Amino acid sequence: MGRNTMSNMTMDVAAVVNLHREGTTAAPSLISAWRAIENARAHGHSARLVLALDRSDEATEGLAKEWEDRGAHLVSCNEGDLGAARNAAVQEVDADWIAFLDADDLWSENWLTAAAEVASQLPRRPGPDVLHPAVNVIFGDHHSLLHHRASDDPSFSWARFRLHNAWTALSVARRSDLLELPYPRNVLVEGFGFEDWSWNMAVLDAGGRHHVVRDTCHFIRRVTAGSLLTSSAEALRSPYPVDDIATRPVLEQLSELTPTDPNLPPTHRHAEHHLSAVLLEQIRLAETIEPAVSQTVNGQGRPLALAQNFNTHVTAPQRALESVELAIHTQAPASLADALEGSAELARLSKPEQHRIVAEVLRSPDCGSLPRGDSPLVEATLQTYPQLNRSETSEG
């Protein structure tokens, strides 16, 4: 790859790869991290590999030892939790910036180098700064392309973020911010999960910002059976923090659907379909490590196999949540039941989707002291999500 034009700032970064019991299947991730580290070093940055082993098995430890011989630093812990394992690595690693990678995913080779360019231009302000790739290629049991949006992007939707995580966990942040704002622990037994989603919200709650690094890509392996994502599917995100974030603007109108090509399938609408030459090259390089990536982006011109993308189009549940909140803010309903029953968008959803929307309304201070009223929908939601009746026991 050619050398990018960089600022004078050099980045001191630790590339933390979280390992559990992946064994030799983690090899592509480690190769990917090493390539990104070498690229960063070639551009004058200080970068090193850190392997965080959380309750690992013999095969995974053996692979880690091989990489230790190449200069990787090993951190062992007994957390049994992805977020807590990240926190343990942050505690032990001495670096200005931390970059996270899970042991079944990959980075684009230019990730650390391009992130350094963005980091060099960030003013030091109160609140964390978190860097994310422009695109995520999802492969494995599911194929899709997820475009990230910065938290200050006009297209960023709070309603969408409350229903769908806007950013993956493979981010870069200052170590000092991660020490001050550690990842919450998943408490699935209490019905709370999604440690990365909770942390992304906590960043904004702390007055921080989520940034996007253009022309970069992460490759996320989606494995349905036995994954933490699957285990968290019926959970709400952790109850911390409460969604009374000062920077969240008051909703004034429903999000508008953008014009679409009627010939496109619904999953492709409102998305970007033409990847830059830099991204195409990064995808090609990733395919030399993990050929399965080609199942998501392939063929001449690399058309998308699927582009389900909550970040680039307006969803029906999002509009339903917005409609209820608009009613609460602008119509002064006598009760929450009135606001819920008055939403035509909510009525169009399936029962499970309705319960998810009502759960988010109940979790939000938007209802304030508004009485619930006689609402069968609220009662059904409380039965679906009994954790809403429990005290906030999650560690946050």
pLDDT digits (tens, 9 = 90+) for 121-147: 998 899 999 999 999 888 887 777 788
Residue 329 has a pLDDT of 85
How large a percentage of the chain has pLDDT more than 70?
A: 79
The CA-atom distances, in angstroms, between 395 and each of 99, 187, 237, 392 are 23, 8, 12, 9
Q: Which of 1-15, 50-64, 377-391 has the highest mean pLDDT?
A: 50-64
Q: Which of 84-98, 148-162, 251-265, 378-392 has the highest mean pLDDT?
A: 84-98
Instruction: Reply yes or no on whether the pLDDT at 358 is more than 90.
Output: yes
Residue 239 has a pLDDT of 57
By CB neighbour count within 10 A (0-12 exposed, 13-18 middle, 19+ buried), where does 240 fall? middle
Residue 236 has a pLDDT of 66
Residue 391's pLDDT band (cuts 50, 70, 90): very low
User: Looking at residue 188, what DSSP letter applies?
Assistant: G
Two tokens, residue 20: 């559990």
- pLDDT tens figures, 175-224: 999 999 999 887 654 555 567 888 998 899 899 999 999 999 999 988 76
SS3 131: strand
The residue among 90 and 302 whose pLDDT is bigger is: 90
SS3 135: strand
- 229-234-237 Cα angle (round to 5): 70
Residues 103 and 219 sit within 8 Å (Cβ to Cβ): no
Residue 179's H or E segment, with its range, is: helix 175-180
SS3 21: coil
CA 29 to CA 18: how far, in whole Å?
10
φ and ψ of 106, to 5 deg: -135, 155
- Domain ranges in the chain with CATH number 3.90.550.10: 12-237
Note the residue count of the chain: 396
Residue 304's pLDDT band (cuts 50, 70, 90): low
Dihedral angle computed from the Cα positions of residues 231, 236, 238 and 243, in that order, rounded to the nearest 10 degrees: 160
| Lowest-confidence pick of 134-143, 231-240, 372-381 | 231-240
| Lowest-confidence pick of 27-41, 125-139, 307-321 | 307-321
Residue 394 has a pLDDT of 39
Q: Which CATH superfamily is domain 12-237 in?
A: Spore Coat Polysaccharide Biosynthesis Protein SpsA; Chain A (3.90.550.10)
